[in-house]
Structure 1
Amino acid sequence: YLLTENHSMKIQNHTEVNEFYFQGFSSFQEHQITLFLIFLALYILTLAGNVIIVIIIQIDRHLHTPMYFFLSMLSTSETLYSLVIIPRMLSSLVCRDKSISLAGCATQMFFFVTFGINNCFLLTAMGYDRYVAICNPLRYTVIMNKKVCALLVWGAFSIGLVVAMTQVTSVFRLPFCDIEVAHFFCDIRPVMKLSCTDTTINEILTLIISILVLLVPMGLVFISYVLIISTILKIASAEGRQKAFATCASHLTVVIVHYGCAAIAYLKPKSENTKDQDQLISVTYTVITPLLNPVVYSLRNKEVKDALLRAIGKKHL
């Protein structure tokens, strides 16, 4: 009877919840300033790296190809993705006010999901581009024309929008009783845990969406690379094989880390990890992964490095 009465009182009180509070990195209370400085440095590097890649691709005509068009779209999406999460996280580390309104939380979740899924499908489009370039080189310019590239980018963004609207609507229709989000941003599962009611249906919906937006793109990229590798192995010269592998290495590195982190975060069984372990995984895919894109494509891609040198007038270096 007491349990029923308490549950009833919580249901009645859920209308009073109009903001949440982030617990953030409360386990590392004495290291808040250190964490702030580390994350700020990584954030500045992420913004600078992705912005430089977008600018270089825009101004250098040698990079006006489908591959680099997709890379510029990915860099733009990664920049917006990190912008949704990291500034608010940095603020929570140094300010006493760790609150966020219900509308603000819903908005953050919406854009986080939109750009996260957009990144997944952009990487798939880049995998398809590499497949066409290596397996159908004579028809590459015909197949990967401007219209097809624009449709692939628009399709990736549209899927992100639709899924984000579905996910956010399902979460924020729940009645909330608790106000402390055991996280540093409004991720789906931590917010659902604040609900008074059974969230089994929402959990199932989240799992289905995660499978569709992670395993389907991963499967398509895997098929692309099976066909790519089988084609590369048929190339007679060692130099030709090496050049073909080099064009795929950067993309494959980003794909493995991006999908790997996302799969660990959203496809693992319902929380066997501690809060600190969950936060470590989240830091990886919200802070480290957006930085990985410019680092990998800058260090491993000769064309990008040459374009950067041309842009700063130091080609002969």
Structure 2
Amino acid sequence: MDHTNYTWTPTFILTGFTTTRTLQPLAFLGTLCIYVLTLAGNLFIIILVKTDSGLSTPMYFFISVLSFLELWYVSTTVPTLLHTLLHGRSPIPSAACFLQLYVFHSLGMTECYLLGVMALDPYLAICRPLHYHALMSRQVQLCLAGSTWVAGFSAALVPAGLTASLPFCLKDVDHYFCDLAPLMKLACVDTSWHAQVYISVIGMINTCNLALILGLYGGIVKAVLKLPSAASRAKAFSTCSSHIIVVTLFFGSAFIVYVGPAEIQAEGRDKLIALVYTFLTPFLNPIIYTLRNKEVKEAVKRVTQRIRAVLNRL
């Protein structure tokens, strides 16, 4: 189809959530508070891992990388969410919309790869304990972490590039940020082929990483069940519980929105489900990884003691 007859859309309109005037300020303040707590919690983990030598292990290195990623991930969508909650329908320049689309999916796919890498660490620690330190050296950690970012930002070029090349006849984006399905609804052409490409790319990346995680945890379970005592088995499983919760939240909600039935988008439930992986998961990650974690509690005590010692000398 000839696209020359269609005019360039300079601005889209984010419709956001439909709220009453009474609930609007409460929704805004609640979202703002959770956003600030999310930033503070993830910054706390990054600083703590960086400053305390007791947390200088591969597991906490990858957790700090995840927290760094979550800072950018949540900041890609929440500012526009806050704007729509405060002002209602919000205009966004097309260039900014497509940039948000690309960065959001880049960070999402990076997290997808990173969660796969984070499953590799306990697998090597439990199943290859004698070779663990050699296999998970600092150089390997940096290489694995860097590879997740390169892979994520490279893979997102496909859906973002195809979407940006579409001709658009409508402006109202039925979402609180620029995402694939809401933007495709505004196109002047048939986007069924584009949808198949998106599902193939995003679905393949999610499925492959989830299959990797399940395979690694299958090996972990097999190795743990061979341990002699119940206490050692419980300790081994407890080290994986936090990661399993995050994986369930992230992959479960992502599969529902991007690979799930079309009725979800049609009924607008995709916006609510999107809140799980764009907003709720980044907020819960610091809590999940630090709650009832003795190593983190001990690290907090050590850092607090050092701060007090410095203040006493002043």
TM-score computed with the length of structure 1 as normaliser: 0.92
Deviation beyond 6 Å, 4+ runs, structure 1: none
Range that drifts further, 259-268 or 180-189 = 259-268
Q: Shift of residue 140 of structure 1?
A: 0.5
Equivalent residue letter for 1:257: L
8 Å CA contact 1:123–1:255 kept in 2: the answer is: yes
- CA distance in 2: counterparts of 1:310 and 1:276, whole angstroms: 48
Query: 1:180 aligns to what?
Result: 172
Structure 2: 5+ residue stretches without partners: 308-314
Say whether 1:149 aligns with 2:149. Answer: no
2:82 to 84, 90, 111: 90
Q: Could you tell me which residue of structure 1 aligns to residue 120 of structure 2?
A: 128
Partner of 1:117: 109
Deviations 1:170-219 (A, max 9, x none): 00100000000000000111011110001011101110012122111100
Q: Verify the 8 A CA contact 1:39 1:287 in the aligned structure 2.
A: no
CA RMSD of aligned residues (A): 2.0
Q: Is the partner of 1:15 in helix, strand or coil?
A: coil
**How do residues 260-279 of structure 1 correspond to structure 2 at under 5 angstroms?**
260-279=252-271
Partner of 1:291: 283
1:238 and 1:281 mapped to 2: Cα distance? 38
Corresponding residue of 2:310:
none
2:24 is matched with 32
Are residues 219 and 28 of structure 1, via their aligned partners in 2, closer, same or farther at CA, if it must alter by over 3 Å? Answer: farther
Once residues 306 and 148 of structure 2 are traced to their aligned partners in structure 1, the CA distance between those partners, rounded to angstroms, is: 37
Match of 1:102 among 91, 94, 108: 94
**% of aligned pairs identical?**
37
What amino acid is aligned across from residue 107 of structure 1 in structure 2?
L
CA displacement 1:273-313 (0-9 Å, x = unmatched): 54441211011111101112101011042211221222223
**Matched length:** 307
- The CA distance in 1 between the partners of 2:211 and 2:20, in whole Å, is 38
Aligned match of 1:81: 73
* 8 Å Cα contact 2:15-2:88 kept in structure 1: no
| Superposition deviation, residue 255 in structure 1 | 1.0
SS of aligned partner of 2:156:
helix
Correspondent of 1:249 among 237, 241, 248? 241
- The one-letter amino acid paired with 2:230 is A
Distance 1:110 1:11 in 2: 25
**Letter in structure 1 aligned against 2:53:** R
Q: CA 1:314 to 1:235, structure 2 compared with 1: closer, same or farther past 3 Å?
A: farther
Distance 1:308 1:277 in 2: 40
The answer to whether the Cα contact below 8 Å between 2:15 and 2:84 also exists between their aligned partners in 1 is: no
User: What displacement does 1:11 show?
Assistant: 7.1
* CA displacement, residues 200-259 of structure 1 (integer Å, 9 cap, x when unaligned): 111011100121221111000000111101111110012211111111111111111111
| Structure 1 position 222 matched with structure 2 position 214 | yes
Distance in 2, matches of 1:176 and 1:97, equals 19
Rounded to whole Å, the distance in 1 between the matches of 2:25 and 2:232 is: 50
Partner of 1:282: 274
Residues 1:159 and 2:187 aligned together: no
Which deviates more from structure 2 when the two are superposed, residues 21-30 or residues 164-173?
A: 21-30
Which consecutive residues of structure 1, in runs of 5 or more, have no partner in the other structure? Answer: 1-6
Distance in 2 (CA, whole Å) between partners of 1:245 and 1:200 is 44
